[in-house]
A and B are shown apart, each in its own frame.
Chain A
Amino acid sequence: MIPEEGDGMRSRDEFLKLFLRHQDDIRAFLGSVVRDRGAADDVFQEVSLTLWESFASYDPARTFGAWARGVAFKKVLQGREKSRRIPLAFSPRTIQAVLDAYDRTEAAAPDTEGLRECISKLPPRSQSLLALRYERSLKLADIAREVGSSLDAVHKLLSRIRLNLQECLERRLQEGAR
């Protein structure tokens, strides 16, 4: 059945609510399997469009996130089949495995509040390193130059910071669960 314009109006708020809640996860998934950030952004635009256009077919029995990632997955594969203009990091089989992993761990997605708290517990040097990487989007080589360290050291340092954050977030999650 053709969706009515009026239905569209009614469902728009609902869509927006769900979309805003899940858009980060869709972006995260795309960013994880598409090699280039710009390309991932392009796919995200396409996915958003498709989600909105096909929102009538969304079955609330599944999570919106799983549905949305399914759409994103299809877009990624379509792009690959059509023109190979989407630079994929992995094979379709692996992308499917990543999708499954995302589906299984949806509830464990980092929440904004938790992340802020965990970051605030980091030493100031770690926080400023993260800012260089994520706020200014510097490449690791540039960060190394900026802080007067080696590339390898920055890589290891950042990896460790992220591991700490991961643990902090998981602790929070477990405490919350209790």
Chain B
Amino acid sequence: MTPLGDLIEKRLHGLATGEELQELDALLSSSPEAALAFARATRLDHALAKHFKGERAVSAIQRDLRGVRRRRLVSIAAAALVALGLGVYVARGRETLAMSGDLALGAGDLLHGPATITFPGEGTTVTLGSGSALTIEAPGPGKRLYLSQGRLSASVDRQADPLVIRTPDARATVRGTRFVLSTDQGSTRLEVTHGSVTLARGSEKVDVAADEVAETKSRTLAKGSLYADRFRALWDDLHDPARGYFSADGIPYHSVETLIVDAPDQGHLSTSETFSYWLWLEAMYGRESGDWAPFGAAWKKMEETLIPSHADQPTNDLYVPQKPATYVPEADRLNQYPVAMDPSVGVGADPLALPGDLYVMHWLVDVDNFYGYGKNALINTFQRGPMESVWKTVPHPSKETFSWGGPHGFLDLFLQEPSYAKQWRYTAAPDADARVLQVVAWAERWVREQGKDPSRILPTEKAGRMGDSLRYALYDKYFRTRHDLFSWSEAWGGSLDRTNGWAWRSGSSHVHFGYQNPVAAWYLSRSSADWAASLERQIEFYRWLQSAEGAIAGGATSSVNGRYDAIPDGTPCFHGLSYVEHPVFRDPPSNEWFGWQAWSVGRLAQYATLAKDAAAAALVDKWAAWARSVVQLTSDGRYAVPSTLRWSGKPDPWTASGPGPNRGLHVQVVDTTEDVGVAASLARALLAHGSAESRALAKELLDRMWTLYRDPAGVSNPESRADYIRFHDPVDLPPGWRGALASGGAFGPGASFLDLRPKYRSDPDFPRVEEAIRSGKAARFRYHRFWAQVEVALAFAELAR
């Protein structure tokens, strides 16, 4: 037997001395042949043990796996971490320089993203983007990487010897920092978020500091503001026709993707919310570039698309303000519809008595004619009380000509009347119009900062008109009271026929804190006592609803159950309104969505800054402390913001002179999300709050989001849509009702959400919904909602300032 063979055998028999083990160690590491012999011998040793002891029972292994699986269920986040390391291994080097997931990487190894690379003994992480290629190079003496294609983000611990990352045309030298490096078609881009990195091209060199970006595209190595650059990158994406955010005639869709059921029930519908965000985007663009033409164009398109023309609201002159509308009770359950008008219930007079047409947006438009009522037809869905989720809605044209539906069009699904007339009717979602006015408030300021006259550049007069028309939202549905708050809707309509013609208008009794917009009220209050009163009332409203923790609770109503029922005993009141935990809708409960917090308090924070209002600032301070405490930043570079909130208790009854502490009103975070839109809204609210802590968290959220979810079309995170199982939910139609759909076919009781939307069956994503329903496993989508993209873009622009 050779000396090596003898040493191996001794090791296997447990006879080797320490000295002999050392000898074997040296032999194995210096001679590949020795290592091969050792591998052969140890394999045989194990095979013999197995042969003589019998195979380990399969069942035992399966038991192990079940144990593993249980553990996996509770540690899904940890599994996600491992799953990130999806590198493609090409060649094994000798020394382990880095790890990807559980792969040891050595010099010469090539990885394809997505992959996460870690380094033994330190916290440095390099995350390689999808489609990217990175080679591990031999140390020299610090770490050496070569990014030949794509994008990586890195969080680098302080290095004794600098880490150097080469690209085809440049070299980044790093000592300890966080940054994103990308290379495409021979040019390189470096984004630094913390610390600094030196970027070199040939003999040229530039030190890139935190919040800066440098590119090799230009003739000289130039650097600029990182976050202004990200705003511009998203602005470019949103306007790139290839990305699909706009229709051919320039209307922004709710989302790039067509199969999506949010409040708008298809992606290529558009909403007043979408337009309000578009105007935000263009106002910020005007601020950054001085070019206000896109803002003007967006306003014009909004007007053309969503503000009904005179021809579309033709009989306003027949409106009688003393008798603005006939009372219709709201019903609790869907099967109680249609409901009958009740003229015996008194209604108030309309003190606004605005002459002519209203200048606010209808909330929903069918851009691609999904429903068949015409391209860019104004349509509506929600009509049937608090339990009508989107899955139960019956889409119908806003102009009812009896061409589709039953003999009375769609009217008799909702309203029971002795006779039906052809008519027009529209519904505004006041938070969207308010957002438009909030944007105008900022735009005026920015235009002035640019030394220009806002009235020459911005549609200020039209904004004033919108503010005037929006005052209907400050009233109870039947003008029995004026609550002075942004309520859930304002609606107006009239007969199409002038003979025996009529018109009606209504406010809304239901007020959600999430709709309040003190910036809009502040802007309008300069020329309107109504809006000055609203501003004061809104600030009180936030104070009344602020929970012990700081989050803001639901809202209030001037009409309990939509039927002016008696206020239940023990219900706290606010200026005659009674507290409602989830105003307006309960499927799902309206104030469980965290987004309302970020949206609404973000506005409150902006107002506090604009108006230097200390009381408002105190509310925001308390809220921001809570918000910061419920955001999670994990060591794997991810983030989680609240998704669902649960409420308990009630606010103290309101006394303006000494508001109660609301010790019994509480919020709890039920679950969390990585949703890019909500996270960006939160970041913006924190930036508006402006404390160092809030700004730091906002920056962290946005940087993480950019690293995790930047994609070729924008920013997008995967989301599970368990609710898509409801495509087959029956919409609950009255017994015996039959009607025709413009998109094809007849429908009646038993018809499902899908039956009313037959074009969904040919949507390219529909098979995924079917598969999800079949398998009972939620389908996952990546959506590019217009509002969310804009929110992210705006957050970066605001971070840049």
Contact = CB atoms under 8 A, between A and B. Distances in A.
From DSSP, what is the main secondary structure of chain B's interface residues?
Answer: helix
A116 B92 contact: no
Contacts of A18: none
A140 B83 contact: no
Nearest to B782: A1
Interface residues of A, number: 79
Contacts of A131: 52
A6 interface: yes
A28 B39 CA distance: 9
B92 A110 contact: no
Contacts of A155: 9-10, 13, 15
Contacts of A53: 68, 72, 75, 78-79, 82
Contacts of A169: 44
B586 interface: no
Nearest to A25: B43
B61 to A, nearest CB: 7
A25 B9 CA distance: 19
B78 to A, nearest CB: 7
A14 to B, nearest CB: 12
Interface string B703-720: 000000000000000100
A81 interface: yes
A91 B9 CA distance: 19
A1 B9 contact: no
Nearest to A159: B9
A59 B103 CA distance: 11
Contacts of B14: 139-140
B364 to A, nearest CB: 33
Nearest to B777: A6
A130 B64 CA distance: 30
B96 interface: yes
B82 A110 contact: no
Contact of A163 (B1, B73, B84, B775): B1
A125 interface: no
Interface in B48-98: 48-53, 56, 58, 61-62, 64-65, 68-69, 71-73, 75-80, 82-89, 92, 94-96
Interface in B764-801: 775, 777, 780
A45 B61 CA distance: 10
A77 B96 contact: yes
B61 A19 contact: yes
Given A20-B58, A28-B46, A93-B95, 12 more contacts: A1-B80, A1-B718, A6-B775, A16-B61, A48-B64, A52-B72, A70-B104, A93-B29, A97-B29, A116-B51, A134-B51, A139-B14
Interface of A: 1-6, 8, 12, 15-16, 19-20, 23-25, 27-29, 31-32, 45, 48-50, 52-54, 56-57, 59, 61-62, 67, 70-71, 73-74, 77, 81, 89-94, 96-98, 100-105, 108-110, 112, 115-116, 119, 130-131, 133-135, 139-140, 151, 155-156, 158-160, 162-163, 165-166, 169
12 contacts: A2-B80, A28-B47, A48-B68, A59-B87, A71-B102, A90-B21, A90-B24, A97-B28, A98-B38, A104-B39, A155-B15, A159-B5
